[in-house]
Structure 1
Amino acid sequence: MTTETTATQPTHALDMPAYIDHSHLVVSDLPMLSDWYQKAMGLSVLEKSAFGQTLGVAGRPLLTLTTAANAARAPRNAPGLFHTAFLVPDRFELGRWLVHAAHSGIALTGASDHLVSEAIYLDDPEGNGIEIYRDRDRSEWNYVPDGTVKMATLPLDLQKLYDESPKESWGGQADGTAIGHIHLQVSDIPEADGFFRDVLGLDLMARYPGASFFASGKYHHHIGANVWNSRGQPKRQSNMTGLSDYTIQFNDAAKFETAAKKLEELEIPTTRQGERLSLIDPWGIGLNLVA
Structure 2
Amino acid sequence: MQHDPLEDTAMTEQSPSFALTRPAHVGRAHLVVRDLETTGQFYQSMLGLKTIEKSESGITLGAGDTPLLTLTTSSDVAQAPRSAAGLFHNAFLMPNRRELAHWLAHAVNLGVQLQGASDHLVSEAIYLADPEGNGIEVYADRPVRDWAFHPDGTVEMATLRLDLQALYDSAPKGAWTGMDDGAAIGHIHLQVGNIPAADKFYEGVLGLKKMATYPGASFFGSGTYHHHVAANIWNSRGAPERTGQMSGLQGYSIHFNDKEALETALKTLDEMEIAVERTAEGHALKDPWSIGVTLSA
TM-score bracket, shorter-length normalisation: over 0.9
Confirm or deny: 8 A CA contact 1:83 1:130 kept in the other structure.
yes
Which of the numbers 121, 127, 139 marks the counterpart of 1:115? Answer: 121
Of stretches 80-89 and 270-279 in structure 1, the one that deviates more from structure 2 is: 270-279
C-alpha separation between the residues in 1 aligned to 2:126 and 2:116? 6
Q: TM-score, normalising length from structure 1?
A: 0.97
Q: CA deviation at 1:270?
A: 1.2
Q: CA deviation at 1:161?
A: 0.8
3-state SS of the aligned residue for 1:284? Answer: coil
3-state SS of the aligned residue for 1:120? Answer: strand
Tell me the equivalent position of 1:69: 75
Confirm or deny: 8 A CA contact 2:83 2:236 kept in the other structure.
yes
Confirm or deny: 8 A CA contact 1:47 1:53 kept in the other structure.
yes
- Counterpart amino acid of 1:266? M
2:91 corresponds to 1:92: no
C-alpha separation between the residues in 1 aligned to 2:87 and 2:6? 35
C-alpha separation between the residues in 1 aligned to 2:244 and 2:22? 31
3-state SS of the aligned residue for 1:194? Answer: helix
C-alpha separation between the residues in 1 aligned to 2:137 and 2:279? 32
Confirm or deny: 8 A CA contact 2:190 2:232 kept in the other structure.
yes
Structure 1 runs of 4+ with >2 Å offset: 2-11
Show the 5 A alignment for 1:60-209. Answer: 60-209=66-215
- Counterpart amino acid of 2:242? R
C-alpha separation between the residues in 2 aligned to 1:248 and 1:7? 20
Show the 5 A alignment for 1:258-269. Answer: 258-269=264-275
Tell me the equivalent position of 2:5: 6
Structure 2 unaligned spans of 5+: 11-17
Instruction: Summarize deviations over 1:45-104 as a string: whole Å, max 9, x none.
Output: 010123100000111100000001111011001000000000001111111011111111
C-alpha separation between the residues in 1 aligned to 2:259 and 2:174? 44
Confirm or deny: 8 A CA contact 1:99 1:162 kept in the other structure.
yes
Tell me the equivalent position of 2:221: 215
Aligned CA distance change for structure 1 residues 4 and 189 (closer, same or farther; 3 Å):
farther
C-alpha separation between the residues in 2 aligned to 1:44 and 1:212? 32
Confirm or deny: 8 A CA contact 1:26 1:244 kept in the other structure.
yes
- Counterpart amino acid of 2:22? M
2:27 corresponds to 1:21: yes
C-alpha separation between the residues in 2 aligned to 1:80 and 1:10? 34
Tell me the equivalent position of 2:276: 270
Instruction: Summarize deviations over 1:258-285 as a string: whole Å, max 9, x none.
Output: 1111111111111024782101110110
Aligned CA distance change for structure 1 residues 226 and 137 (closer, same or farther; 3 Å):
same
Structure 1 unaligned spans of 5+: none
3-state SS of the aligned residue for 1:255? Answer: helix
- Counterpart amino acid of 2:92? F
Q: What's the C-alpha RMSD, in Å, of the aligned pairs?
A: 1.4
Q: CA deviation at 1:150?
A: 0.2
2:285 corresponds to 1:279: yes
Of stretches 178-187 and 264-273 in structure 1, the one that deviates more from structure 2 is: 264-273
Aligned CA distance change for structure 1 residues 277 and 9 (closer, same or farther; 3 Å):
farther
Q: CA deviation at 1:175?
A: 1.7
Of stretches 162-171 and 117-126 in structure 1, the one that deviates more from structure 2 is: 162-171
C-alpha separation between the residues in 2 aligned to 1:162 and 1:10? 26
Instruction: Summarize deviations over 1:165-209 as a string: whole Å, max 9, x none.
Output: 123321111120101000000011011110000000001100000
Confirm or deny: 8 A CA contact 2:7 2:145 kept in the other structure.
no
Confirm or deny: 8 A CA contact 2:7 2:144 kept in the other structure.
no
Q: CA deviation at 1:29?
A: 0.4
How many residue pairs were aligned? Answer: 290
Confirm or deny: 8 A CA contact 1:3 1:143 kept in the other structure.
no
Confirm or deny: 8 A CA contact 1:215 1:222 kept in the other structure.
yes
Aligned CA distance change for structure 1 residues 85 and 191 (closer, same or farther; 3 Å):
same
- Counterpart amino acid of 2:243? Q
- Counterpart amino acid of 1:27? V
Q: CA deviation at 1:8?
A: 6.8
Aligned CA distance change for structure 1 residues 93 and 246 (closer, same or farther; 3 Å):
same
Q: CA deviation at 1:6?
A: 2.8
